[in-house]
């Protein structure tokens, strides 16, 4: 465990430039929930993260669905929910609900319920759903502890990049999620499942730095900065807790807890161990590709694939069902 690292100081500085110094000041609020909310305020959409790169998304699709043009929602509806109708889906930590709004456009769903702590994100989701004239989706701004989980009620419970924000994952899955699913209900995750608080091993940090050197210097200039990203030292525990007390608080328990309480239907690792940290703050260079940029990403993909041969994936897409009683 690392209490403080060099990246803590660098990332704080660059985060201030990217998201504004008011965002940094919000991290000194004594309320854990308020600091968590601030991590997902309006400035969160202005960033340079790996998930924004279309070529990376195609890689995920290929690894999850075997088709770079089919995302996991399309796969879920076409395969796991084929011919199903009148479905009730609950999404916890839904954010701006882009994935849920996409699912709501399928006739399979009678009602999709989205729950999130951020008033800003829920407001954005409501606006988008209204523009798309969707009537089968509802939005609730609430803490999970205040939500009424009805027993045997839902056909699908979805966690999209949100389960790693919940503490005591085992209790959540066993006492709230499993009981609220009906007999044939499915748990669906698209999640970071790596080390708690992003406390990567020395080997992984070493490999991330090797991966960073695969990127030509011209594409390592940081977002909204004249500085270059030349090294990676990881996150310290102190900054993780201050910045967002919920971030990766119990992420390492996700897969063991799911395997304990559910049966696997589909489980697809798609890496991220190297890409997430190499591309952080420099992803904006790769939104639009030329031959040189594509070559650099292909080399990075190959490097991560080689790493994954002997190391568990930090990101997983999975579909799980309640075990037979």
Per-residue pLDDT tens over the stretch 159-215: 999 999 999 999 999 999 999 999 999 999 999 999 999 999 999 999 999 999 999
What is the reported pLDDT for 26?
53
In a domain, 262, yes or no: yes
Could you give the CA distance from residue 270 to residue 266 in angstroms, rounded to a whole number?
Answer: 13
pLDDT at 239: 85
Domain-embedded: residue 77 = yes
SS3 string, 131-196, reads HCCCCCEEEEECCHHHCCCCCCCEEEEEEECCHHHCCCHHHHHHHHHHHHEEEEEEEEEEEECCCH
- Which CATH number covers residue 242? 3.40.50.150
Does residue 35 or residue 20 have the better pLDDT? 20
| Largest Cα span, the chain | 60
Q: What is the residue-averaged pLDDT of the chain?
A: 91
Nearest residue to 277 via CA among 224, 207, 219, 227: 207
- pLDDT at site 47: 55
Residue 305 resides in a domain: yes
Evaluate if residue 46 carries a pLDDT over 80.
Answer: no
In a domain, 146, yes or no: yes
Torsions phi, psi for 106 (to 5 deg): -95, 145
Note the pLDDT tens digit of each residue in 216-241: 999 999 998 899 999 999 999 888 88
H helix intervals, 269-311: 275-279, 291-308
Dihedral sign from CA coordinates of 159, 163, 168, 169: positive
How many domains does the chain fold into? 1
> Using one digit for the tens of pLDDT, what is the confidence trace for 69-119?
999 999 999 999 999 999 999 999 999 999 999 999 999 999 999 999 999
pLDDT at 22: 58
Domain span at residue 58? 6-321
Position 1 in a domain = no
Please report the pLDDT score of residue 195 as a whole number. 97
Confidence at 15, pLDDT banded by 50, 70, 90? low
pLDDT band per the 50, 70, 90 thresholds, residue 7: confident
Q: What is the pTM of this model?
A: 0.89
Is the pLDDT at 41 greater than 50? The verdict is no
| 297 is a domain residue | yes
SS3 51: helix
């Amino acid at each position: 465990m690392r209490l403080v690292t060099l990246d803590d100081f660098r990332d704080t500085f660059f985060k201030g430039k990217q998201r504004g110094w008011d965002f940094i000041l919000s991290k000194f609020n004594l309320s854990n929930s308020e600091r968590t909310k601030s991590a997902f305020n309006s400035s969160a959409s202005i960033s340079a993260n790996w998930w924004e790169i279309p070529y990376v998304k195609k890689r995920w699709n290929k690894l999850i669905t075997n088709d770079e043009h089919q995302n996991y929602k399309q796969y879920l509806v076409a395969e796991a929910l084929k011919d199903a109708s009148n479905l009730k889906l609950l999404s916890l930590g839904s954010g701006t609900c882009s994935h849920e709004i996409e699912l709501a456009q399928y006739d399979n769903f009678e009602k999709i319920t989205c729950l999130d702590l951020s008033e800003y994100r829920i407001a954005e989701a409501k606006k988008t759903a209204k523009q798309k004239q969707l009537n089968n989706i509802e939005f609730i701004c609430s803490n999970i502890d205040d939500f009424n989980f009805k027993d045997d009620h839902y056909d699908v419970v979805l966690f999209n990049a949100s389960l790693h924000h919940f503490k005591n994952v085992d209790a959540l899955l066993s006492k709230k999620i499993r009981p609220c699913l009906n007999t044939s209900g499915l748990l669906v995750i698209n999640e970071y499942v790596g080390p708690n608080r992003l406390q990567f091993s020395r080997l992984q940090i070493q490999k991330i730095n090797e991966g960073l050197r695969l990127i030509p210097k011209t594409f390592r200039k940081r977002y909204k900065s004249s500085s270059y990203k030349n090294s990676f030292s990881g996150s310290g525990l102190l900054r993780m807790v201050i910045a967002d007390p919920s971030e990766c608080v119990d992420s390492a328990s996700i897969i063991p807890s799911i395997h304990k309480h559910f049966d696997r239907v589909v489980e697809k690792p798609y890496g991220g161990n190297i890409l997430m940290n190499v591309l952080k703050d420099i992803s904006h260079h790769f939104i639009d590709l030329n031959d040189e940029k594509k070559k650099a990403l292909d080399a990075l993909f190959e490097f991560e694939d080689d790493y994954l041969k002997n190391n568990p994936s930090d990101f997983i897409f999975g579909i799980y069902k309640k075990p037979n009683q």
